Structures are given as structure tokens and as C-alpha cells.
């Protein structure tokens, strides 16, 4: 059996085309396009490349895009002041601070300083609370992208056993909550989980968000499972990017799988654009 591959790249392209088609309507109705600002502090190569892609995506769909590159030496106070300025800017709809930040800056403080209404990453404590309370929130992009991929593949999590490996605030935890809200029976596994393969073999839907190269091997997967690979890891052997899943043998056993690259990554970026539109529309509709 060879698994069906859900192409995040293709689905993301569809989403971007839909957004791009609507931007001229927004301009007509509200007088301007959505505007996304991305702040990068320092010169971490992976962060620089993510920030560049986010700016490019925004421009491709016709948004206004601002990228602010700040030196590594930027102080927390300076960054907070810049964020306060962006919060107050009526012509700006989304503010994203690329993580991780340099060690001398308190990430939690910075995230909490972004206006909840402009928090396109969905990391603000009030957006996190809203997700857990099932009230209107900006949902974090990566798990939101995964849910969109499941829907695209016609997979309804209701009644299914879902196992999420990873319990980070940005991926594992919100992922587990979204699967729970979709009526899956969810287990969250982590580094202290005992006999992980026995746990993962129970999964109808297995989401790997670990950050370890080829961590999920075929013996950990139930035949016919849906396997979602969130991980992004560089293999020192060839310098290329791979997921957390040992793709070829797992694809032989799974019914559905997502590739890396071209899977969850592009969907995360597409959902960032969607979140920007959401923030823009909420703001414009509040005004009218």
C-alpha cells in the first residue's frame, strides 16, 4: 500500500489564489489592502529565510508588506516601543515577531505586547485563552494549516484516535486542542512518554511535532494511519530538509501522509495570510 500524499504546496497555492482574488474587492470596499508587518531581530539564517518568505507571500497576494530587520543588539525596550507604534498604526492589520528572539529579550513579554487584534501568529495569551475557551480567536498558523490539510483529504477526525507527539505552545498543544474540538480522542505524547511506539501505534491520526530527524519509524505507525509531519530538520549528511517522519517506509504503511518539504510548511504560511485577512476584516467591520 502506498499512502496518498497531501500536498501542502498545492493547497497553499489554492488558498493564496483565493486570497489574491479577494484583495481588489477589499481595496474597493475598504480603501486599502490588508497590511502585514514582520519584525526580525538578529541574523539567524533560518529566521531570515522565513521572514523573507512571509514578506514575499504577502506581496504575491497583493497585501501591503512591511519587513523590519533589527540588529541583534536591539534591546527589549526598543522592540516593545516599535511594537507599540505598530499597534497604534491604523493602517497596519497584522504584526508578527519572528521567533526565536535573542536571549536578552523576554519572548513572552514581547508576544503579550502585540495587540491581540493584530496577533496574526495567534500566540498572544488572550488568543490562546480564546482557543481553549472556544471563543473567537486568531488560531495559530501551523495547527490551523494541519486541520485544513485533513479537511482537504476528506479526513474527519470525529471519533478517531489522534496522537500528537510534542506539547509546545506553538504546535503540539494547540494542535491537540483543535483535534479535540473536531471530536477526536486525543493523546499528547512527549519526551517523558513511556513506550512511545505503543502509544503511536494506537493512532488513526498521528501528528509528529518533535523536531527530530526521521524520529517516527514505520514500526510506530498503525497500518492505514494518517500521518502528518510538522517537523523540519536539516540532515547534516546532505544538508537538505526532512521531517520528523521516516518518509519512505512510513508512506508504505500509512493511508495518507504529508511530505517535507511541501507539506505543513507552505500551509503555515498560507494560514498566516488568512489570519491577516481575518484581522483586517474584523477591524474594518468594527469601523463600519
Q: Which residues are catalytic?
A: 54, 98, 121
Q: Please report whether residue 142 would count as binding ligand NAP according to CB under 6 A.
A: yes
Q: Please report whether residue 165 would count as binding ligand NAP according to CB under 6 A.
A: yes
The maximal CA–CA distance of the chain, rounded, in angstroms, is: 57
Using CA atoms, how far residue 264 sits from 102, 141, 197, 268, 270, in Å, is: 26, 10, 23, 6, 10
Q: Which of 211, 218, 252, 282 binds ligand NAP (CB under 6 A)?
A: 211
Whether 9 and 145 have beta carbons less than 8 Å apart is answered as no
Site for ligand NAP in 5-34 (CB under 6 A): none
Q: Please report whether residue 172 would count as binding ligand NAP according to CB under 6 A.
A: yes
Q: Which of 97, 184, 264, 279 binds ligand NAP (CB under 6 A)?
A: 264
The label of the residue with cell 486568531 reads 138
Q: Please report whether residue 171 would count as binding ligand NAP according to CB under 6 A.
A: yes
Q: Which of 191, 236, 239, 287 binds ligand NAP (CB under 6 A)?
A: 191
- Our CB check for ligand NAP shows the closer of 118 and 144 to be 144
Give me 83's grid cell: 511594537
- Our CB check for ligand NAP shows the closer of 65 and 142 to be 142
Q: Give the three-state DSSP class for 2.
A: coil
Q: Please report whether residue 270 would count as binding ligand NAP according to CB under 6 A.
A: no
Q: How far apart are CA 89 and CA 279, in angstroms?
A: 14
Whether 186 and 206 have beta carbons less than 8 Å apart is answered as no
Q: Which stretch binds ligand NAP (CB under 6 A): 30-38, 51-59, 108-116, 263-271?
A: 263-271
The label of the residue with cell 516593545 reads 80
For the chain, the residue count is 288
Report the interface residues with ligand NAP, using CB under 6 A. Answer: 142, 165-168, 170-172, 189-193, 196, 209-212, 230-233, 264-265, 268
Amino acid at each position: 500500500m502506498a499512502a496518498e500524499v497531501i500536498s501542502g504546496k498545492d493547497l497553499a497555492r489554492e488558498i493564496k489564489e483565493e486570497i489574491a482574488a479577494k484583495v481588489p474587492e477589499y481595496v474597493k470596499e475598504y480603501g486599502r489592502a490588508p497590511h502585514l508587518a514582520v519584525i526580525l531581530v538578529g541574523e539567524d539564517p533560518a529566521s531570515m529565510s522565513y521572514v523573507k518568505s512571509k514578506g514575499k507571500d504577502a506581496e504575491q497576494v497583493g497585501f501591503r508588506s512591511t519587513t523590519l530587520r533589527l540588529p541583534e543588539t536591539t534591546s527589549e525596550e526598543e522592540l516593545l516601543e516599535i511594537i507599540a507604534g505598530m499597534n497604534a498604526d491604523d493602517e497596519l492589520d497584522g504584526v508578527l515577531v519572528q521567533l526565536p528572539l535573542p536571549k536578552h529579550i523576554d519572548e513572552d513579554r514581547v508576544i503579550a505586547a502585540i495587540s491581540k487584534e493584530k496577533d496574526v501568529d495567534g500566540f498572544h495569551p488572550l488568543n490562546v485563552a480564546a482557543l481553549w475557551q472556544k471563543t473567537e480567536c486568531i488560531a495559530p498558523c501551523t495547527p490551523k494549516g494541519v486541520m485544513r490539510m485533513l479537511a482537504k483529504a476528506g479526513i474527519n477526525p470525529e471519533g478517531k484516535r489522534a496522537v500528537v507527539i510534542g506539547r509546545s505552545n506553538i504546535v503540539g498543544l494547540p494542535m491537540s486542542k483543535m483535534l479535540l474540538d473536531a471530536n477526536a480522542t486525543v493523546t499528547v505524547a512527549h519526551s517523558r512518554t513511556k513506550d512511545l511506539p505503543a502509544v503511536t501505534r494506537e493512532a488513526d491520526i498521528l501528528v509528529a511535532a518533535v523536531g527530530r530527524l526521521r524520529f517516527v519509524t514505520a514500526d510506530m505507525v498503525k497500518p492505514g494511519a494518517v500521518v502528518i509531519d510538522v517537523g523540519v530538520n536539516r540532515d547534516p549528511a546532505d544538508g537538505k530538509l526532512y521531517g520528523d517522519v521516516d518518509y519512505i517506509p512510513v508512506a508504505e504503511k500509512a493511508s495518507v501522509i504529508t511530505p517535507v518539504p511541501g507539506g505543513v510548511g507552505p500551509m503555515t504560511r498560507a494560514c498566516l495570510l488568512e489570519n491577516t485577512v481575518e484581522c483586517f476584516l474584523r477591524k474594518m467591520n468594527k469601523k463600519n
